[in-house]
Amino acid sequence: MNKVGRKGFTLVEILVVIIIIGVLAAFAVPRYLETMENSKADNAASLAAMVATTHRMFLLDHPGFPLDGEIVTACNSSGPCPAPPDNNRCNLIRCNYLAAQDWDQGAYRVYASYVAGGSCSADAIACVRRRPPARAPYDGWGYDVDAVGRIIPFGGAPAP
C-alpha cells in the first residue's frame, strides 16, 4: 500500500479534533450563558431604577396613592389618566410617567410597589424578578429599588 498518495484523515486524527472541540465548548458555553444572564440582569437593574424613579415622581404628584402590581403590556391600552388617580400600577403608563412598551417579553417581570405586603420586598418602591424559564442559579435573580434609589440585588443576582 502506497502511503504517499493517500487522501483524508485517520480515525484517530478526527477523534482528536472532536475531543478538542468538545473541551473548548465545555468551557465556552457556560461562560457565554453567564455573560448573557449578566447582560439581562444589568438591563433589569436599569429598568427597576427607571420604574422606581417614575413611581417616586407619581407619588410626589399624587400623594396617598401608592401603586402595587406587575406592569404588563395590557397597561399600554388601559385608558386615560384617571382624576383623581387610583392605586392601579397601570397609572404609571396612563399618566405618562412610563413609556408604553412590550413589558411581557423581557427576561424580567417588572413591579411597582409601595404597599406593605406588596409585590416587592419590604421598603422597595419597585422591583424586577427573573421570568421563567431560566436555568439555575439565574432563576431566582432580581433587584429591589428602595425609596431613595438604592438598587439591592435579590436571590444571588450580581451587584449592578
Backbone angles phi, psi at 124, to 5 degrees: -90, 140
Distance CA 124, CA 19 (A): 50
Q: What fold is seen in the domain 11-154? A: Glycoprotein, Type 4 Pilin (3.30.700)
Torsion-angle region of 149 (φ positive above 0: left; ψ -120 to 50: alpha; else: beta): left
Q: What is the residue whose three cell numbers read 404588563?
A: 72
Q: What is the pLDDT of residue 117?
A: 65
Residue spans of the domains in the chain: they are 11-154
**pLDDT at residue 2 above 80?**
no
Residues with Cβ < 8 Å from 109, sequence gap 6 or more?
A: 70, 128, 129, 130, 131
pLDDT top residue among 35 and 119: 35
Residues 144/129, Cβ–Cβ less than 8 Å: no
Please state, as a whole number, how many other Cβ atoms lie within 10 Å of the Cβ of residue 34.
13
- pTM, two decimals, is 0.80
Condensed to tens digits (0 to 9), the pLDDT of residues 103-153 reads: 999 999 999 987 766 778 888 899 999 998 888 888 889 999 998 899 999
State mean pLDDT over 33-60: 92
Beta strands in 114-150 (DSSP E): 124-130, 142-146
What does the block give as the cell for 59? Answer: 407619588
